């Protein structure tokens, strides 16, 4: 692109206009920010477990509404510590393993607080139960 001056000489324009380029980049940035806020969290993958859990251990169920069931009794998170202590006392400290069956929609915080309550009752080994291949979808091993 040549620019002529009043003196009749031709000069080459040496500057590049980056305004359109900057506008395009800003529009793309805004699109990515909007998309990032709209995109949902990815679904957690299903674990594949080939071995069954041992039925003699303490089983804890956590449902999608974060209700905690230890053995056959439904407790809240604050009562979990006493329930674990009572189970350890009634079994003569023979059990050290806690199997946790949690709904995928359950809060990780609830599961961690249940594990902490179990640790305070000297239950030191944890297992997470999941769907075993070959069983119907609603059943888990154990």
Structure tokens at 13: 């324009």
Q: What is the reported pLDDT for 142?
A: 46
Domain boundaries, the chain: 2-38, 58-128
Query: How is residue 104 written in tokens?
Result: 């995928």
Q: Which residues are bridge partners to 59 per DSSP?
A: 99
Instruction: Tell me the two tokens of residue 52.
Output: 């069954």
Q: Give 85's strand partners.
A: none
The tens digit of pLDDT for each residue in 70-118 reads 877 888 877 888 888 888 887 776 677 888 888 888 888 888 888 888 8
CATH of domain 58-128: 3.30.420.270
**pTM of the entire predicted model:** 0.53
Q: What is the DSSP string of 86-129?
A: HHHHHTTT---EEEEEE-TTS-HHHHHHHHHHHHHTT--EEEE-
Tokens at residue 88, please? 């350890």
For residue 130, pLDDT over 60 is answered with yes
CA dihedral of 79, 84, 87, 92, whole degrees rounded to 10: -140
Average per-residue pLDDT in the chain? 76
């Amino acid at each position: 692109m040549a620019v002529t001056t009043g003196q009749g000489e031709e000069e080459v324009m040496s500057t590049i206009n980056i305004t359109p380029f900057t506008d395009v980049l800003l529009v793309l940035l805004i699109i990515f920010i909007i998309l990032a806020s709209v995109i949902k969290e990815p679904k957690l993958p299903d674990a594949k477990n080939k071995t069954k859990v041992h039925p003699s251990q303490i089983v804890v169920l956590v449902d999608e509404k974060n209700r905690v069931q230890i053995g056959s009794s439904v407790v809240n998170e604050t009562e979990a510590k006493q329930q674990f202590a009572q189970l350890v006392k009634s079994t003569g400290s023979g059990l050290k393993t806690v199997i946790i069956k949690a709904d995928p929609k359950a809060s990780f915080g609830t599961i961690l607080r249940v594990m902490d309550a179990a640790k305070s009752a000297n239950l030191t080994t944890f297992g997470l139960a999941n769907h075993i291949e070959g069983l119907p979808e609603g059943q888990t091993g154990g």
